[in-house]
Chains A and B, each alone.
Chain A
Amino acid sequence: MSSKDVILGRIRSALSSGVDAPEIPRDYRRGEAKVDLDLLVERLTDYKAVVHRISAEKSGISAAILEILAEGTVVVPPGLPTDWLPEALEAIVDDGLTAEQIAATDGVVTAAAVAIVETGTIVLDASPDQGRRIISLLPDLHICVLRPEQVVASVPEGVARLDPRRPLTWISGPSATSDIELNRVEGVHGPRNLHVILLAA
C-alpha cells in the first residue's frame, strides 16, 4: 500500500463521523473600490520604497530613471520598452544571463503586473516586461515602472487580476527583516533599494 493510500485512508477514517463543509461567509470587502494613488504613494513610502511620480508621458520615464541611477549597468527584461532607458546607462538585456552576471549589475528596471494600494504592494508576474524572477532579485537596486491602470485598491482585487499559473512575486518595500527584536529593519538579501516610478493617471 502506498503512503498516499495510507494517508488518504487515515484522513477518511478521521472524518468518518461526518464533517460538514461550512459555507464561507464572504462579507468582507471584496468588490471594486476607488483607487487612491496618493494613498499608494504613502503606503509604499511607509515601507521605505522611494516613489517618483511623473506625468503620463512615457518620455518622463527615462529621465526619472536617470535621476535614480546616473551611471552604470542595468539588467532589463527582454520585453521592456527600449525608450524607457536613458542612454547614459548600459542596459543588459536578460537573454539567459548567469546569476553572477546579473548580480554584477548596478540595478534592474522592470514593469509590474499589479499594484495594491491598501498594502503598498507591487506584484511581478514574469511577463516579458518584467522578466525572470532572478533579475529583480540579485541587483541591489530595483526600479519598477507602474502605470495607473495596473493599480487596484485592495488585496482581493489584486488576487483576482493575477494568473496563478505564472510565477508571482509580491513586493512590499525593499528587503527587510523583523528578526532583530521584532522591529522592521530594511536591507537583507533582496534589493536594498526599491524605487517605484508611478505614471500619472
Chain B
Amino acid sequence: MTFLGMPARAPRGVGHLRGDESFPVAARKALANSQLRRNLQHATTTIRGKSGRVIAELPDWQELRSAGSALKAYTMARLPELLEQLEENVTAAGGVVHWAADANEANRIVTDLVRQTGERRVIKVKSMATQEIGLNEALEAAGITPVETDLAELIVQLGNDKPSHILVPAIHRNRSEIREIFLKAMPDVDPGLTDDPPVLAAAARRYLRETFLSTKVAVSGANFAIAETGTLAVVESEGNGRMCLTLPETLITVMGIEKLVPKWSDLEVFLQLLPRASTGERMNPYTSMWTGVTPGDGPQAFHLVLLDNGRTAVLADEVGRQALHCIRCSACLNVCPVYERTGGHAYGSVYPGPIGAVLSPQLTGVADNPSLPYASSLCGACFDACPVKIDIPSILVHLRNQAPHPRTEAAVMAAAAYTMDRPKLYASAQRAAKLARIAGRRGRGLPPPLNGWSASRDLPSPPKETFRDWWRSR
C-alpha cells in the first residue's frame, strides 16, 4: 500500500504548485518591472499599517496567537478522529462528504457532481484549494464554465493573468491598470469608467449580478470546518461569497483536510485572529456559516470534498507539519521584504510568499520546488506576523537541508567545514589570506557563482592581521 511507503505528494501535471522557472530567475524579471514594485510596495505598506493598528487594539493578541497555534497543533494530532467526526456531522445535517486523495480525484469528483446537475456554468468563491488543484481548467475541459466572482479573481481572470497573493490575487495591479482591464475585457462596460475604486467595484457588481441570479451551482472553499458540529465557514468581504453560498441549488465546497477546527467555540479564537491579520479589519464585512442543508434556505444539495493532495506528506514531517496550521491570512506575505520586491508570480505556485516557500515544496516534494526554501533572507518578519505562530524560518532552514545541492557548492561547503574543524588549518588558511586572494583588490569582482554579490557591493579589503594574530601578539 502506497501510504506505508513514500509519502504521497501532490501529483505532477495537474494544478498550480510548480513554477516553470526557478525563483531567482523569475524574481529577476519581476524586479525589473518598476510599476509592479511600486504597486506592491504601496499595497503592502497600506495593509501593514492597517493590520498593525487593529492588532494593537487587542490587549490579548499574543494570548490569542498562542491559543490559535495550540488549537492547530491539537487538530493535527487528532486529525483522523476529527475528520470522521466532521463527516458524521455534515452527513447528519444533510450534506454529502467526498474524500479526494489528490488533485485529479478532487477535480473528477467536482466535475462529475456538476455534470449530474446538468448545468454548464458554475459560480466560484475565491478558494486557494481549487486554484491549487487547477479545478477551473478541469471544468473547462469538461465543457463547464467557471466564473470567478471575487473582485480580485475577476481582475485576474479578465486580464488573463495569474494570481499573485493569497488574499488579493490582483495585488500587483493598481487602479488604473484595473480600469484598463475592465475596459478591454468586461462585456457591456461603461466606456466612461473611471479609476475611482468605488466606480470599479460598482462595475463588477453590475457585471456579475445576472450571473449570480441565474447560476444553479456554486463551488467554494472553506476557511474553517468545525468537527464538533459539521459547520463550514467562509470569511469574505464583498458579498460574492454570500451570493454563491445562498443562491444556487447546489453547493460544492472543496477543502484541505487541515482546515479543521475541533469545536464550535474554537472559532472565538480564529475569528479574532484572521480578519485583523489578513485585511487589517476588526472584522471582515461578511462571514457565512452553514451546517449541511437548511430546508427552505440556501442550497438544497451540499457536497463537501476533503482534499489531501500532499497534505499528509507535510504532516509526516515533524518540523514541516506546522505549515498545515496556516489559516491563509497572508500576513506573512505582507511583511516579507522578499515578497514585497518580487511579487507572488516569482514563486511559481498559487501559494507565494513565506508560507508558499515552505508549503509548496512540501506538497510537491522539495525536488520539484528546490529554489523556494532559499527564497528568504531568514529575517523572521513572517514568524512575528503569523497569527498562529508558524515558525517559517525554521521550516525554511529544515527544507534547505532536504533540497538538492549544487555539486560545486556542496564541495565548497564540505571543504569549509573540514577547515573550520581544524583550528591550525583554519588559521593558516586565514593567514595565507585565501579569502583575500579570492577577493582581490578592494572593489574587484568575485568569480562565479559569487559574482552576483560583488556586482553591486564592494568587498571589504582584507585586514592586515586577523583577530587571532592580534590576540597572540598582545
Contact = CB atoms under 8 A, between A and B. Distances in A.
A14 B312 contact: yes
B296 interface: yes
Interface string A95-108: 01001100100000
B248 to A, nearest CB: 10
27 contacts: A2-B99, A6-B99, A7-B306, A8-B83, A9-B1, A10-B7, A10-B308, A13-B312, A14-B321, A15-B76, A15-B80, A21-B77, A27-B63, A119-B283, A134-B298, A166-B294, A177-B237, A179-B150, A181-B46, A182-B44, A182-B168, A187-B198, A187-B201, A189-B205, A189-B209, A189-B238, A190-B286
Contacts of B247: 99, 134, 137
A10 B312 contact: yes
Interface string B242-270: 11011100000000010000001101110
Contacts of B63: 25, 27-28
Given A3-B100, A11-B80, A155-B268, A175 B286 contact: yes
Interface string A10-45: 111111010111111111111000000000000100
Contacts of A159: 264-265, 267-268, 271
A58 interface: no
B240 A187 contact: no
B291 A132 contact: no
Contacts of B290: 167-168
Interface in A90-122: 96, 99-100, 103, 116, 118-121
Contact of B67 (A28, A173, A183): A28
A168 B316 contact: no
A156 B266 CA distance: 9
B374 to A, nearest CB: 26
A4 B50 CA distance: 42
Given A10-B315, A182-B279, 6 more contacts: A11-B257, A25-B67, A133-B245, A165-B229, A170-B286, A182-B47
A100 B316 CA distance: 50
B152 interface: yes
Interface string B263-287: 0110111011001000101111111
Contacts of B237: 175-179, 188
Interface string B1-36: 111100110000000000000000000000000000
A137 B205 CA distance: 13
B178 interface: yes
Contact of B283 (A2, A169, A172, A188): A172
B99 A4 contact: yes
A12 B171 CA distance: 39
A6 B3 contact: yes
A44 to B, nearest CB: 11
Interface in B324-369: none
A96 B1 CA distance: 52
B406 interface: no
Give the residue among B39, B42, B197, B291 with the most A Cβ atoms within 10 A.
B197
Interface in B102-158: 105, 149-152, 155
B200 interface: yes
Interface in A151-174: 155-156, 158-160, 164-174
A179 B74 contact: no
Interface size for chain A: under 10, 10 to 19, 20 to 34, or 35 or more residues? 35 or more
B246 A9 contact: no
Given A14-B312, A118-B282, A155-B271, A185 B80 contact: no
A74 B242 CA distance: 20
B288 interface: yes
Contacts of A165: 93, 229, 231, 291
Nearest to B168: A179
A29 B242 contact: no
Contacts, number: 268
B289 interface: yes
A25 B200 CA distance: 44
Give the residue among A20, A47, A164, A189 with the most B Cβ atoms within 10 A.
A189
A170 to B, nearest CB: 4
A71 B440 CA distance: 84
B397 interface: no
Give the residue among A23, A30, A116, A164 with the most B Cβ atoms within 10 A.
A164
A55 to B, nearest CB: 28
A96 B289 CA distance: 21
A189 B198 contact: no
B297 A167 contact: yes
B213 A99 contact: yes
A13 B3 contact: yes
B73 interface: yes
A120 B282 contact: yes
A169 B202 CA distance: 23
B77 A3 contact: no
A180 interface: yes
B462 interface: no
B208 interface: yes
B74 A10 contact: no
A136 B156 CA distance: 29
